[in-house]
């Protein structure tokens, strides 16, 4: 019989029955809603039951061969099958409760499809956890701690040892790893893990602790009883006992730290060690998980038992999770077909870009739990990272309100959930105090924290502030995973980002809508990295969360006006704050007033190179463009000294050189116009290369590090540069470019075009060098002495490109910008029969290479982040020089 239609009501959001009714709200796009087997509603389809049954059958047969049991063959088969079915049903889907998604519309995402292998170090940290980049709670580790072992795959550690204790932060992936092991073994995949023929036994230690409160029971006896009761089949207890005796078990004990009472936790730890010692020599393997806090006081020790501490996800692991997440989401929403894969790829690029674009978001994404919440929010329409302040606000809400329902395996509700508003009223000023006490460190002593909490609670009218402070601290520590005990009597937030965000909230709340108190608090810290994020988040919070964009913009303007810090730092900070809140959180007039200050900072030779580069980044992302971005500079006929030998050469014709290298914004016009798909623009060799490599954009086109609109396009081959010039030539001659905007003396340019002898093309290296050094043979476009303030070269230490309009000090005698450093520029000249010449040096090369006379030979198909180009208007047929120019 057909089951009745399921319906979900979301208080004005989507309701799902036979049809989809939005009820005035939004329906999260592309999700296919189907009825789940339990009569609820699930997003997407299901894992193939037939495949699962076959896998479990195979696992069951393999386990039967390794077990010597008193049970009959049929009874043993049923016990194993029922047990493995239980493992599958219990853990097959990732538990997303407490991650900001409605429990009424659960996502059913297969855990095995999402799992990213974890890594750990074989050391116990002094604090709460190791981070991959060797920082702890936002500070650099001491030198002796920096000499640590390299992270190893946790699975490899398990393969090489009888017992492993896995330590890590909340959300680091401890429990998920245990589920991953159990599922693989239940599906008969133990051989691939180096754990073939083992029976997984996954137990929350909190359940054992609860049993010990009632009566004394050995762990092995409790395991048999627990699963017999849970699975509902008496022979299962016998089967588990047989597996232990035969050395075929993989014992997975989760959450030692979740046994809250110290004496009881100590008892549990002792029983675990006894159990390990009794069953290890038979060949069983063991895994125990815990947070570091709660573990140190009861630290189990035994022969063959090793400790390892999880490290954060690195960039590759973040990218791997995002790829698996987006594909799983689309497969569940749409099914297994090409459209789902294409949508998954789009979602992958957007989510990865959101992580890469902002260091604060990147820090959060290193924690698997926080990365999952991030992915969930992105899926539900939160724009990232432009709306970081909303992201952090949602994170805090999620961690305060729903952590209790998501932690561990036991599915326990504490009954002590913290009130969200009350918690924020304390955490915001508390975070601001912590940040002032130890900016950038993220750690304070418990006694000092208790004193500050007591003071805040007294100000709020609490009758017994000391007792309330103690209760609050313990509740937050136990139940939110937001504020943690991080080692010897020290506390800090799970990520420094949350301290920074809540400190910003504290500033905003104290200011009560007035800009001046916020400016007064932040201006002394301009240029201090520890206060940068607080500043950005304070402006965004006031503009976006408090809905006061005018006040937020005034704060940014006043910070720029005060001009504290080193040259350019105040303008940069103000610009970054505007960008972070733009467009809804800051009014347009504030943006307009800050843009000129950013240009000044970018072009200020006294400002640090990093300040200048970041000012250019902000300008580009805020939509600013130089008025003369498309301009061409006239270069007259003349003689000049060429090369290091200073050979006299002559250019007997005038030409126009592009004022700047081609930027990403300019190249995007070619890409958007279908330039890669139009055979018309490509040489025969170039088209063959494009088809072979399936290129439709430069190699780092989607990489946020390189694709700022006013930065030079990089990663282009000679073929791509040549195709662009042909396309641009057609735009000019077919009337789609305004000649009046290309050159101050438009009449001379029109005259050249009317002659029919001129076209847009790459310069020859002779033309390029003349434009760069003029007639007098100078070493650099600006003169003979190198000056790191005039050029983006290796000496700048930036290791990346800069805006093409950054260095007015480095212009050539004719007024051409950026001919030295930043990017090597393709020329139309041959170096030999196979290779082309590039000129100008780049950010990667030193002062010698950025001289005007230096030549670089490249294959026409070469591309990297140091290669760009510029165009010129010159004779279509130019005389060839002896060098092949």
**Which tokens go with 407?**
């932690």
- Asked if 72 and 201 count as a contact pair (C-beta separation under 8 A), the reply is no
pLDDT in tens, 828-884: 999 999 999 999 999 999 999 999 999 999 999 999 999 999 999 999 865 444 344
452 falls within a domain: yes
Region 782-803: what's the mean pLDDT?
97
pLDDT in tens, 340-356: 888 889 889 988 988 88
Per residue in 606-622, pLDDT (tens digit) is 999 999 999 999 999 99
Averaged pLDDT, 576-595: 96
Lowest-confidence pick of 128-132, 326-330, 738-742, 775-779: 128-132
pLDDT at 140: 38
Q: Tell me if 105 is assigned to some domain.
A: no
Range of the domain at 705: 632-875
Please state at what angle helix 549-562 crosses helix 515-522, rounded to 10 degrees. Answer: 40
Query: According to the model, what pLDDT value does residue 490 have?
Result: 76
Return the CATH number at 205: 3.40.50.300
Last residue of a domain, one of 274, 291, 312: 312
Max Cα distance, the chain (Å): 102
Distance CA 713, CA 675 (A): 15
In the prediction, which pLDDT does 374 show?
84
Beta strands at 152-153 and 119-121: parallel, antiparallel or unpaired: antiparallel
- What CA–CA distance (Å, rounded) separates 797 from 795? 5
Q: Which one of 181-195, 362-376, 596-610 scores highest in mean pLDDT? A: 596-610
Q: Check whether 528 has a pLDDT greater than 80.
A: yes
The structure tokens listed for 60 are 């069951």
Residue 34 inside a domain? The answer is no
Q: 371 and 302: one domain?
A: no
Based on the fold, state whether residues 296 and 331 are members of the same structural domain: no
Counting every residue written for the chain, the total comes to 885
Give the DSSP letter of residue 374. H
pLDDT at site 471:
85
| Shared domain check, 285 and 195 | yes
Q: How far apart are the first and last CA of the chain?
A: 82
Q: Is residue 320 part of a domain?
A: yes
In whole angstroms, how far apart are CA 469 and each of 245, 437, 458, 495, 737? 51, 19, 10, 22, 69
Question: Count of domains in the chain?
Answer: 4
448 and 354 within one domain? no
462 and 362 together in one domain: no
What 3-state DSSP class applies to 324?
A: helix
What is the rounded distance in angstroms from the CA atom of residue 732 to the CA atom of residue 761?
A: 12
CA-nearest of 584, 528, 524 to 552 is 584
Q: What is the pLDDT of residue 701?
A: 94
Domain co-membership, 690 together with 770: yes
pLDDT digits (tens, 9 = 90+) for 276-325: 999 999 999 999 999 877 787 888 989 999 999 999 899 999 999 999 98
- Structure-token pair, residue 135: 């920082």
Q: For residue 817, is pLDDT > 90?
A: yes
* Euclidean distance between CA atoms 233 and 52, whole angstroms: 21
Q: Which residue has the higher pLDDT, 219 or 482?
A: 219
* pLDDT for 38 beyond 90: no
- Whether residue 516 is found in the same domain as residue 591: yes
At 54-83, the pLDDT tens digits run: 677 776 676 766 677 677 778 878 888 888
This prediction's pTM: 0.73
258 and 205 Cβ atoms separated by less than 8 Å = yes
Question: Is residue 340 included in any domain, yes or no?
Answer: yes
**662 and 798 both lie in a single domain:** yes
Report the range of poorest mean pLDDT among 28-32, 740-744, 845-849, 865-869: 28-32
More confident residue, 49 or 767: 767
Higher pLDDT, 747 or 826: 826
Structure tokens at 637: 């006929």
Q: 168-181 as b/e, with b when 16 or more CB fall inside 10 Å?
A: bbbbbbbbbbbbbb
Query: From CA 15, how far away is CA 148, in angstroms rounded?
Result: 53
Residue 106 banded pLDDT, cuts 50, 70, 90: low
- On whether both 773 and 867 belong to a single domain, the answer is yes
Beta-carbon neighbour count of residue 551 at 10 Å? 20
Name the band, by pLDDT with cuts 50, 70 and 90, for residue 16: very low
What integer pLDDT is reported at residue 399 of this predicted model?
75
> How many percent of the chain have pLDDT more than 90?
54
Q: What is the pLDDT of residues 416-454, one digit of tens each?
A: 555 677 788 889 999 999 999 988 778 888 899 999 999
Rg of the Cα trace of the chain?
32
Q: Give the CATH number, domain containing residue 652.
A: 3.90.1580.10
- Would you place residue 740 in the very low, low, confident or very high pLDDT band (cuts 50, 70, 90)? confident
In sequence order, what DSSP letters do the residues of 632-667 get, joined into one string? EEEE--EEEEETTTTEEEEE-S-EEEESSPPBHHHH
Task: Work out whether the CA dihedral 382, 384, 389, 391 comes out positive or negative.
Answer: positive
Residue ending a domain, among 381, 405, 430, is: 381
Left (φ > 0), alpha (ψ -120 to 50) or beta: where does 363 sit? Answer: alpha
My answer on whether 563 and 505 are in the same domain is yes
Tell whether 711 is covered by a domain: yes
How, if at all, do strands 163-167 and 305-310 pair?
parallel
Tell me what percent of the residues of the chain surpass a pLDDT of 70: 83
φ and ψ of 291, to 5 deg: -70, 155
Checking if the pLDDT of 234 tops 80, the result is no
Q: What average pLDDT does this structure show over 243-261?
A: 89
Closest CA to 144 of 154, 136, 153: 136
Average pLDDT, the chain: 84
Q: Label residue 517 by pLDDT band (50, 70, 90).
A: very high
- The pLDDT confidence band at residue 94, using thresholds 50, 70 and 90, is confident
CA atoms within 13 Å, Cβ hemisphere of 161: 22
Tell me: do 751 and 807 sit in the same domain. Answer: yes
What CA–CA distance (Å, rounded) separates 613 from 631? 22
Dist CA 137 CA 139 (whole Å): 6
Q: Residue 228: its pLDDT value, please?
A: 84
Q: Does residue 134 lie within any of the structural domains? A: yes
pLDDT at 473: 78
The residue from 621, 648, 664 where one domain ends is: 621
- How is residue 877 written in tokens? 């047929």
> In Å, how far from its chain's centre is CA 90?
30
Contact yes or no for 25/12 (Cβ under 8 A): yes
Whole-number Cα distances in Å, 470 to 265, 650, 657: 22, 84, 71
Q: In this structure, is residue 99 part of a structural domain? A: no
DSSP state, residue 142: P
pLDDT of residue 338: 85
Q: How many CA atoms lie within 13 A of 558 on its CB side?
A: 19
Q: Which residues pair with 527 in a beta bridge?
A: none
Same domain, 373 and 262: no
């Amino acid at each position: 019989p057909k089951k009745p239609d399921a319906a979900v009501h979301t208080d004005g959001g989507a309701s799902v029955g036979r049809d989809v009714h939005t009820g005035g709200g939004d329906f999260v796009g592309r999700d296919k809603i189907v009825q789940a087997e339990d009569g609820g509603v699930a997003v997407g389809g299901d894992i193939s039951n037939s495949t699962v049954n076959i896998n479990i059958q195979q696992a069951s047969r393999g386990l039967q061969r390794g077990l010597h049991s008193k049970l009959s063959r049929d009874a043993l088969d049923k016990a194993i099958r029922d047990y493995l079915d239980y493992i599958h049903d219990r853990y097959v889907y990732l538990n997303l409760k407490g991650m900001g998604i409605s429990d009424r519309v659960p996502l059913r995402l297969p855990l095995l499809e999402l799992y990213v292998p974890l890594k750990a170090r074989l050391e116990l940290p002094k604090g709460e956890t190791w981070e991959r980049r060797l920082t702890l709670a936002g500070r650099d580790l001491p030198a002796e701690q920096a000499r640590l072992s390299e992270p190893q795959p946790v699975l490899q550690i398990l393969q090489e040892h009888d017992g492993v204790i896995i330590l890590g932060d909340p959300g680091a992936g401890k429990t998920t790893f245990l589920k991953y092991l159990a599922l693989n073994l239940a599906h008969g995949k133990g051989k691939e893990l180096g754990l073939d023929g083992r029976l997984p036994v996954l137990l929350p230690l909190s359940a054992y602790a609860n049993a010990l409160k009632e009566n004394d029971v050995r762990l092995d006896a409790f395991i048999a009883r627990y699963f017999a009761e849970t699975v509902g089949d008496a022979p299962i207890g016998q089967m588990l006992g047989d597996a232990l005796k035969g050395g075929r078990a993989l014992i997975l004990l989760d959450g030692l730290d979740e046994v809250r009472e110290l004496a009881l936790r100590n008892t549990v730890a002792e029983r675990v060690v006894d159990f390990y010692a009794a069953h290890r020599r038979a060949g069983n393997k063991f895994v125990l998980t815990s947070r570091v806090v709660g573990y140190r006081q009861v630290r189990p020790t035994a022969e063959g038992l090793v400790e390892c501490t999880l490290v954060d996800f690195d960039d590759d692991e973040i990218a791997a999770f995002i790829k698996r997440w987006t594909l799983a989401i689309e497969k569940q929403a749409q099914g297994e077909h090409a459209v789902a894969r294409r949508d998954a790829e789009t979602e992958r690029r957007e989510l990865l870009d959101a992580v890469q674009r902002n260091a604060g978001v990147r820090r959060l994404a290193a924690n698997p739990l926080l990365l999952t919440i991030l992915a969930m929010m992105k899926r539900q329409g939160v724009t990232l990272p432009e709306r970081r302040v909303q992201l952090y606000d949602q994170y805090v809400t999620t961690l305060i309100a729903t952590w209790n329902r998501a932690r561990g395996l036991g599915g326990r509700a504490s009954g002590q959930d913290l009130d969200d508003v009350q918690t924020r009223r304390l955490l915001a000023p508390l975070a601001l105090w912590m940040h002032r006490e130890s900016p950038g460190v993220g750690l304070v002593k418990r006694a000092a924290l208790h004193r500050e909490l007591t003071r805040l609670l007294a100000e709020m009218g609490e009758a017994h502030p000391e007792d309330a402070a103690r209760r609050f601290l313990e509740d937050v520590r136990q139940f939110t995973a937001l504020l943690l005990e991080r080692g010897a009597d020290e506390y800090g937030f799970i990520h420094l980002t949350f301290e920074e965000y809540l400190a910003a909230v504290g500033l905003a709340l104290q200011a009560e809508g007035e800009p001046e108190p916020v400016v007064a608090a932040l201006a002394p810290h301009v240029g201090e990295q520890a206060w940068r994020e607080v500043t950005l988040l304070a402006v965004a919070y006031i503009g976006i969360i408090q809905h006061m964009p005018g006040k937020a913009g005034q704060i940014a303007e006043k910070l720029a006006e005060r001009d504290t810090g080193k040259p350019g730092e105040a303008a940069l900070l103000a610009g970054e704050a505007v960008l972070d809140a733009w467009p809804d959180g800051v009014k347009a007039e504030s943006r307009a007033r800050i843009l000129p200050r950013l240009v000044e900072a970018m072009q200020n030779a006294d400002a640090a190179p990093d300040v200048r580069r970041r000012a250019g980044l902000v300008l580009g992302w805020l939509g600013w463009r130089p008025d003369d971005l498309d301009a061409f500079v006239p270069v007259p006929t003349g003689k000049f000294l060429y090369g290091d030998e200073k050979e006299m050469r002559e250019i007997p014709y005038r030409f126009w050189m592009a004022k700047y290298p081609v930027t990403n914004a300019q190249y995007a016009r070619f890409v958007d116009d279908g330039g890669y798909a139009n055979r018309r623009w490509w040489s025969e060799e170039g088209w063959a290369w494009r088809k072979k490599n399936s290129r439709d954009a430069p190699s780092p086109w989607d990489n946020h590090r390189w694709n700022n609109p006013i930065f030079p396009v990089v990663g282009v081959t000679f073929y791509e540069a040549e195709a662009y010039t042909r396309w641009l030539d057609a735009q000019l001659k077919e009337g789609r470019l305004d000649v009046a905007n290309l050159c101050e003396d438009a009449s001379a340019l029109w005259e050249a075009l009317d002659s029919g002898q001129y076209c847009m093309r790459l310069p020859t290296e002779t033309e390029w060098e003349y434009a760069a050094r003029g007639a007098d043979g100078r070493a650099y476009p600006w003169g003979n002495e190198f000056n790191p303030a005039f050029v983006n070269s290796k000496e700048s230490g930036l290791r990346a490109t800069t805006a093409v309009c950054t260095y007015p000090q480095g212009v050539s005698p004719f007024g051409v910008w950026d001919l030295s450093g930043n990017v090597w520029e393709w020329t139309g000249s041959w170096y030999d029969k196979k290779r082309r010449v590039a000129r100008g040096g780049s950010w990667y090369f030193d002062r010698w290479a950025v001289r005007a006379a230096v030549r670089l030979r490249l294959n026409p198909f070469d591309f990297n982040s140091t290669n760009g180009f510029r165009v010129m208007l010159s004779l279509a047929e130019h005389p060839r020089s002896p060098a092949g120019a």
